[in-house]
Each structure stands twice: as C-alpha cells, then as structure tokens.
Amino acid sequence: MAKFSYEPSGVCSALITFEVDDGIVRNVQFTRGCNGNTQGISRLVEGMNIDDVIARLKGTNCNGKGTSCPDQLARALELAKNQ
C-alpha cells in the first residue's frame, strides 16, 4: 500500500492524503474545505478502482473555478498512478 499527499490548488482544501493498494483507493482525507462534502467524497470513493474514481471526478467544476475538490482528488490520483 502506497501513501500519498497532494496540495490542491484553486480550492478550499489545503491537503489531500490517500492510499492506493493494488489499484484500489483507500483512506482519502481532505484537510479543510467543505467538511460534509469532502467527507462524502471520501466515503464514496473508498474501495473504488483508481481509474473509475478518476473518470468520475475529473473535470468537476465548483462555482466556475475550473476545478473542485473532487477534480483535485482526480488529479492527485492521476499523479499517484503515474509514479
């Protein structure tokens, strides 16, 4: 199991931490951000295949920012996958 940390940009969250275990996303945690939403995202993606999470969340837009916490998670997972 590999652990990752990612500093998102353009969103309220300051840090996203997560683990990837044989292509499965585990233990996603957001520091700051919209608490209920980030908890919901974390619970929804727990146990999902990394490619499925990326496909579902990438490009999610928050209030015209061009990104969002879900989109930033997708970007973080892409980086983790390519390491």
Domains and CATH numbers, the chain: 2-81 (3.30.390)
- pLDDT band at residue 9 using 50, 70 and 90 as cut-offs: very high
pLDDT attached to residue 27: 98
Distance CA 77, CA 65 (A): 20
CB 75 within 8 A of CB 58: yes
CA atoms in the 13 A half-sphere facing the CB of 20: 19
Contacts of residue 8, defined as CB under 8 A and 6 or more positions apart, other chains included, come to: 14, 15, 16, 67, 69, 72, 75, 76
State pLDDT tens for residues 46-77: 999 999 999 999 999 999 999 999 999 999 99
Residue with tokens 């996958």: 81
